[in-house]
Amino acid sequence: MQRNIISIIKIVFSILFFVASFLYFSIYIDPTVIYYKQQPLFLFDYQFIIKYLSFPGGFSTCLSLFTSQFLFSKWAGAVVITIFFYVISVISLSLFKRFFSEKTSFFLQFIPVILLIHLHSNYEYDFRGGYIYLFSILACLAYLKLPKISLSIKVLFLIVINIILFALFGGTALLLFSLLVILSELYFRNTRYFWVIMLLQPIIIISILFISINTSAYINFNMALWGILHPETHYKPLKLLYVFIFFLPLFLLVKVVFKKYLKTSYLYNQYKSNLPGKRNYFSLLLFIVLLFATEIFAFKFSYKQEDKKFIQIHQFADDHNWKMVLKLGKELPYHDRRVLFQVNRALCHQNQLLDKAFSYVQFCGDHGLLLTKHYNRQVLMLISDLYFDMGHIKESLHWAYEAQTIYDYSPEVIKRIIINNIILGEYTIANKFLIILSKSPVHKSWTGKCKKYFKDESLITNDPLIAEKRRLLPIEDFHTSTKNPQNDLKKLFIENVNNKMAFEYFIAYALLTHDLSSLAVYFDYFEKLNYTLLPVHVEEAIILFITLNNNYPLNLGKYSISELTQKRFIEYSKILMKYKHNSKIAEMELHRYFHDTFWFYIHYISPITTKREIQVKNLK
Amino acid sequence: MKKITKYLIIVVAVLAVLILARRLSSPGIPVDCVKNGRIPEIFPDYTDITVPVNIAPLNFKIINKAKKFRVSFSGSKCKAFVIKTKENKVIIPERKWRKFIKSNSNDSISIQIYAKNNNSGWEQYKTIRLFIASDKMDSYIVFRHINTGYILWEKMGIFQHNIENYKKTPILLNERTDRNCMNCHTFCNQNPGQMLIHLRTPPSGTILYKDNEVKFINTGTPYTMSAGVYPSWHPDGNLIAFSVNLINQQFHAASQRNIYVFDRASDIVVYDIDLNEVTTCPELSTKSLENLPAWSPDGKFLYYISGVPYDKKMPDSLVKYDLLRIPFDAQYKKWGKPDTILTAKETGQSISFPEISPDGRFLIFCMAQYGYFNIHSPGSDLYIMDLENMNYSKLPVNSNYTESFHSWSSNSRWLLFVSKRLDGLYSRVFFSHIDTAGNASKPFLLPQKDPDYYETLLLNYNRPVFVKNKIKISANKLSKKAFSGTVNATFDKNVNIDALSGATRISSDAMYQLAD
C-alpha cells in the first residue's frame, strides 16, 4: 500500500515536473525564437546526411538539426523539448539505479533535466550536448549489461563502442563514456579483469585520438579530445555545458569514494544507527518540494527576457511587424547598434524616420543606421535586409552570400538568395537553392509557392513585392562602398527618384554625421519626392544650418519651417543662453524638453560630439 | 534427415541452373520495345563525350519519367551488361565498369536506355555513344572547396579527389589552422610530393612540401609589395615564380558581374627554395601589372600577363592584359628580353591564366572583357594557342557561363577547367580530351558516385589541378608546421631593384642592410 502511494506520488510529481517544463518552454522561452536564432535546416537528402558522417561528432550535429527543425512551431517545439528531457531523465534513471538506491535515483534523474532547462533557455544552445550525453549513457548501460563474458569479447566490445561513439558523437562522448566505464569498474570491481579494463580504456582513447589526429584532416588534438567542449574562434561552449557533461561522473566518483572509504567509517555507522526505523513520506515530500523549487528556480534563473526580446526585435522586423519593433526598441538597450538599426528601419517603413529618429537615443550615430562600415558575422543578414528594402538587390545578394559563408544552410539566408535571384532574373541560381530548401518539410509551402513561379513567369511579374523591387533596381552600374555607404544611397535615389527609402536614409545619415551641407545640396529632392511638409528633424537641421551659415542662403522653395519648430528652437537656445552656453549644466533641462530633437542629439548624444568610438569585435 | 538434405541440394541445384540459364539467354534487354526516337535526358550529360580509360563509373540520373528502367552498356570488344532499376539513378557496379572500359579502350561504347510505365510496354530511347580514350588521366585532382563569399569565409579546405573511384579526402582544412584563408595549392610537374599551399591570414605563410620535408616560409620581404601570390613551379623543382600583388575588389550594383577583382600594382618574383631567396628582374617588376606567371615545361620561358599601370580613373572595361614571355636561363639565373605573344589590342579582350601543356605544344588561357581574375566574369572563356605557329582559337568547351581555372594532365591529353554552367553560380570541374592536333572533345562533369551529389553542394571547386598520385602527407604535419613560425625569405643581394612595382633602384644604404 505504502509502496503504491509512493509510486503514485512519484508519477504525479514526474508529470507535474514535465508539464511545468513544457509550459515554461512554450510560454516563456518560445521555441520559435530559438528556431529564428539558430536557423536550423535539416534536409531529407542522402548527401546532406552523409556530409555529417564524414567527421567525428558530425552525427550529433545531424541529429540536433533534425530535432531543431520542429522548433519552427511554438507548441510542437515545446513538446519535442519536453520529450527530449523525458528521455534524458529515463536513461539517466537507468544508470543511477545501478549505483544508487531507487529513491535517490528517482531524484537524481531530474538533475540533468534541470541543467538542460538552463542550457536550452539559451537561444543559441542546440541539442548536440543532450544527444552526446544520451548516447554515452546508453553505451555505458550496454557495457554494464554485458554478461560475464570472456575478456576478449569485452575488449572487442569496448573497442567497437569507443570507435562508434567517437565517430558519431565526437570527443566529448568518448570522454564521458570512458569516465563512466572507469568509475563503474571502480565501483563494482566484479570482474577478474578489473585492471585490464582500467588500463585498456585509456589505451583505446589514446589510440583513437592518435589515429584520428594523424589520419583525419577534420580535427586537431583539442577538438578530438574535447569535442563540443573545445572552444573555437566563433564557438564558446556554455559554462554549464561542462557541468552537464561532468556532473554524472562526479556523482559516481563521490559514490565510489563513499563506498570505499566512508561506508566503513565510524561516523557513517553512527549516523545510520540513529536513523528512525520507520520510513515516512516526509522525506519524500521534502525532496519533491525541493526539486520542484529547484525547477522553478531554474526557470527564473534561466529565463533571460532581454535575450529573447533582442532576438524578437529581428524576428518582428522580418515579419514587418514594425509596431512591435518600435515597442521593443524602447525597451532594449540603446547602445546596441543592431537595436537602433532595426528601430531606424521600422521608423522608415512607418514613414517616421525623419520625424521621430531622435525620439530614440541614437547612441551609435550613423553606425545604428548603416552597418557596413564595421561588418561582422552578426550583421551580415541585417545589411542584406536593409539593401533588400531599398531595392539595392545586388548588394543585398552580396551580403546574403557573405552570410552564407558562415550560416551555409540557414533557411533565412537561402530564402533571401532565392528571392534576390528571382528579382534579378537569375532563375537558374534561384532554382538551385529552391531545390535544396524544398528538401526540408518545414519549408515545403514556401518553396511550393516559388516553384509555381518558375512554371508560370507571369506570377513573378505580377508579384507585388518582386515588381516593387524590380522598379527600384539601379539601372546604371556603380561600385558599391562599405566604407562610404552614403554614396550608394545617393546613387540609388538620384537615379531612381522613387526610391524614397534611399533618400530618407541618406538624409538620416547626413543628420547623424552632422553633414548639413549634404542636406542643403540635396534639399530639392523633398519636392521631387512630393513631400507636402518638411519632416520635423529636417526642419530642426535646417534652422540650425541657417543659424550657423548666415552667408549661405538656403532656398526652401515651397517649404517653410513650421512655427512650432521655430518656437522650440528659440526655447532651446534660451535654455542654452540661460546656462551661458555651458552645455554640461544645461543638459538636464534640455533633456527634459528636447531629448527628441536633432539639436539635443548633436549636443549630447552623437558619437562625433562625444568622441565615442564604435567597438565591434571579429571583423572577419 | 539425409533424404531431406539430398532433396534440398537437388532443388538448389535446379534453381541455380535455371537462374544461370535465364541470365545467359537474356541479359535483361526488353524484347518487345518501341523506339520512341527521342534522345534520353540524363544528368550529367554524357552524350558524345570522350572519357579516359581510368575514369570512375559514369553514374547518371535519367530525367525522363518512367516506372522502370533498363540500361544496357555495350561495346564492340566486350559483352554488354544491363542495369535494371526502378529509380531514375543508374549506379554502375565499379568492377563491371572497370573491366568494360578497359576492354573497349580506344573505342566507342553505347548506352541504351529502355523505360517502362505502368500501362505501356517498353520504350527504347536513342542510343548514347561515348568514346573511351586510351589516354589515361592523372588519378587525382586537387582543389579548394569554398563558399560563394567574397569578403568572408568560415570553412574552407584543400581536397584531393580520386577520379578513378570518386574518393574525396581533405589535405588540409582551415579548421586546423584557426579558420584562416588558404589557397594557391601548386605542384611541380603534377608531382604530389612537391606541393605548396598559401595560408593568407594568421598563421600566414607558404607551406612548402618537398622531398618529404615541410617548410613554412614567409616569401614577403621589404623589397616585395606582398608575399608570393599566384605561383608557378619551375620544372627543375627548385624555383617558384610568384606574382606579388596589391589586390582590391569592388562590387557592382547593376552589372552582370557581381564583383571586380583588380590589382593596384603587381610584379613577378622568383623564389629559390635552396637559397631561401627571392629575386626579380627589371623586366618583371615594371610599373605595368605583371601577373600570373607560368613556366614553359622546359623551363626556358616564363609566360605571364601584363596590363597597363593602375589608374584610379580608368574605367574597369579598359583594364586589359597582354600575354608575354621572357627567356630564362635557370643555370645562371639570367633573364632575356620579354616578347609579347598576344595583345589585348589584337583580341579586344583581356588575357589571363596562361597554362602550357607539359609537352610544350599548346597554351591555354582565359579571355574576358576586362581584368584578370576571371572566375567572377560570366564572359570568361578558354582559348588554345598552338605554340608552334602561335595561332589561337576559342575552345569548343565554353558555355554562356564562366570558364576558368584550367589545368593540364601530365600527358598533355586532358584538360580540366571549372565552369559555372550547371547553375550559374557554383564552379564545377569539367574535363575535355585534347588530341595531338589541339582538338578538344565535348566536356564532361567530374563524375560522382551519387548523380545528385551537386544538387545540395554549396561549395565551389576552386583552382583544381591534376596530380599524378595521392598526396600522402597528413594534415596534422602540415598544420603543426603552420603553427611553428615562418622562415623569412631573403631578397637577392645581386639585384639592385625592388619588386614594389616600378623596379625602383634599391638605395645603397638599403643594399648594405640587405647584405647584412
Contact A480 B253 (CB under 8 A): yes
The stretch A145-159 carries a mean pLDDT of 84
What angle, rounded to 10 degrees, do the helices at A500-512 and A485-495 form? 140
For residues B130 and B443, the answer to whether their CB atoms sit within 8 Å is: no
Distance from CA of A43 to the nearest CA of B (A): 9
Question: Per residue in B92-117, pLDDT tens?
Answer: 999 999 999 999 999 999 999 999 98
CB atoms within 10 A of CB B405: 26
Residues 17-76 of A with CB under 8 A from B: 43, 45-48
Tell me which of A383, A402, A405, A435 to substitute to probe the interface with B (most B C-beta atoms closer than 10 Å): A405
Distance from C-alpha of B352 to C-alpha of B371, rounded to nearest angstrom: 8
Contact A217 B176 (CB under 8 A): yes
CA atoms within 13 A on the CB side of A355: 12
Q: Which carries the bigger pLDDT value, residue B2 or residue B198? A: B198
Cell of A121: 533557455
Contact A217 B458 (CB under 8 A): no
Which residues does A449 contact at the CB level (< 8 Å), separation at least 6?
A: none
Question: Per residue in B463-477, pLDDT tens?
Answer: 999 999 999 999 999
CB atoms within 10 A of CB B246: 17
By CA distance, what is A473's nearest residue in B? B254
For residues B269 and B228, the answer to whether their CB atoms sit within 8 Å is: yes
Residue B26: which pLDDT band, with cuts at 50, 70 and 90?
Answer: low
Which residues does A259 contact at the CB level (< 8 Å), separation at least 6?
A: A187
Contact B254 A232 (CB under 8 A): no
**Which residues of A are less than 8 Å from B153 in CB distance?**
405
pLDDT at A277 > cutoff 60: no
What was the pLDDT predicted at B17? 74
The stretch B129-142 carries a mean pLDDT of 97
**Which residues of A are less than 8 Å from B152 in CB distance?**
377, 380, 402, 405-406, 620
Alpha helices in B233-343 (DSSP H): none
pLDDT at A256 > cutoff 50: yes
What was the pLDDT predicted at B515? 43
**Which residues of B are less than 8 Å from A475 in CB distance?**
254
By CA distance, what is A409's nearest residue in B? B458
Which helix or strand (DSSP H or E) is residue A492 part of?
Answer: helix A485-495
The stretch B199-223 carries a mean pLDDT of 94
Closest of B353, B441, B451 to residue B402, by C-alpha: B353
By CA distance, what is B249's nearest residue in A? A479
| Residue A445 vs residues A43, A45, A170, A441, A448: alpha-carbon distances, Å | 15, 18, 35, 8, 5
pLDDT at A102 > cutoff 50: yes
What was the pLDDT predicted at A549? 83
Which helix or strand (DSSP H or E) is residue B206 part of?
Answer: strand B205-210
Contact A436 B171 (CB under 8 A): no
Which residues does B60 contact at the CB level (< 8 Å), separation at least 6?
A: B42, B43, B44, B46, B89, B90, B451
Alpha carbon of residue B490 to chain centroid: 32
Closest of B156, B162, B120, B155 to residue B138, by C-alpha: B162
What was the pLDDT predicted at B22? 58
Cis peptide before B192 (omega within 30 of 0): no
Contact B251 A232 (CB under 8 A): no
Cis peptide before B203 (omega within 30 of 0): yes
| Residue B313 vs residues A73, A307, B316, B318, B369: alpha-carbon distances, Å | 54, 48, 9, 10, 18
Distance from CA of B317 to the nearest CA of A (A): 12
Residues 523-562 of A with CB under 8 A from B: none
Residue holding cell 540661460? A578
For residues B466 and B390, the answer to whether their CB atoms sit within 8 Å is: no
| Averaged confidence pLDDT in chain B | 93
Question: Per residue in A572-581, pLDDT tens?
Answer: 999 999 998 8
Cβ of residue A480 closer than 8 Å to a chain B Cβ: yes
Contact A233 B147 (CB under 8 A): no
Cβ of residue A309 closer than 8 Å to a chain B Cβ: no
Helix, strand or coil for residue B507?
coil
> A26-50 burial string, b = 16+ CB within 10 Å, else e?
beebbbbbbbbbbbbbbbebebbbe
Question: Per residue in B215-273, pLDDT tens?
Answer: 999 999 999 999 999 999 999 999 999 999 999 999 999 988 899 999 999 999 999 99
Distance from C-alpha of B132 to C-alpha of A302, rounded to nearest angstrom: 66
Cell of A54: 564524414
Helix, strand or coil for residue B114?
strand
**Which residues of B are less than 8 Å from A488 in CB distance?**
253
pLDDT at B29 > cutoff 90: no
pTM (2 d.p.): 0.93
Which residues does B506 contact at the CB level (< 8 Å), separation at least 6?
A: B223, B496, B497, B498, B514
What was the pLDDT predicted at A616? 64
Question: Per residue in A194-225, pLDDT tens?
Answer: 888 888 999 999 999 999 998 888 888 888 99
pLDDT at A551 > cutoff 80: no
- In one-letter notation, the amino acid at residue B512 is Y
Residues 377-416 of A with CB under 8 A from B: 377, 380, 392, 394-395, 397-398, 401-402, 404-406, 408-409
- For chain A, first and last CA: distance in Å? 66
pLDDT at B197 > cutoff 50: yes
Write the burial class of residue B61 (CB in 10 Å: 0-12 exposed, 13-18 middle, 19+ buried). Answer: middle
Cell of B240: 617558384
Cβ of residue A612 closer than 8 Å to a chain B Cβ: no
Among A285-289, A449-453, B40-44, name the most confident range: B40-44
Residues 427-446 of A with CB under 8 A from B: 428-429, 431-432, 435-436, 439
The stretch A303-325 carries a mean pLDDT of 97
Question: Per residue in A499-538, pLDDT tens?
Answer: 999 999 999 999 999 999 999 999 999 999 999 999 999 9
What was the pLDDT predicted at B514? 46
Question: Per residue in B359-406, pLDDT tens?
Answer: 999 999 999 999 999 999 999 999 999 999 999 999 999 999 999 999
The stretch A361-375 carries a mean pLDDT of 95
**Which residues of B are less than 8 Å from A232 in CB distance?**
179
Residue A620: which pLDDT band, with cuts at 50, 70 and 90?
Answer: very low
Closest of B350, B299, B346 to residue B326, by C-alpha: B299
Residues 207-226 of A with CB under 8 A from B: 213-220, 223
Distance from CA of A540 to the nearest CA of B (A): 33
How many beta-carbon contacts under 8 Å exist across A and B?
A: 127
By CA distance, what is A47's nearest residue in B? B453
Distance from CA of A351 to the nearest CA of B (A): 26
Distance from CA of A426 to the nearest CA of B (A): 8
Question: Per residue in A110-147, pLDDT tens?
Answer: 999 999 999 999 999 999 999 999 999 999 999 998 87
**Which residues of A are less than 8 Å from B251 in CB distance?**
394-395, 398, 479-480
Residue holding cell 596530380? B467
Contact B176 A473 (CB under 8 A): no
A50 backbone dihedrals φ, ψ, rounded to 5°: -60, -30
For residues A89 and A116, the answer to whether their CB atoms sit within 8 Å is: no
What was the pLDDT predicted at B303? 98
For residues A542 and A360, the answer to whether their CB atoms sit within 8 Å is: no
The stretch A72-87 carries a mean pLDDT of 97
What was the pLDDT predicted at A191? 66
By CA distance, what is A470's nearest residue in B? B254
Residue A466: which pLDDT band, with cuts at 50, 70 and 90?
Answer: very high
Lowest mean pLDDT among A92-96, A198-202, A365-369, B448-452: A198-202
Lowest mean pLDDT among A287-291, A298-302, A541-545, B482-486: A287-291
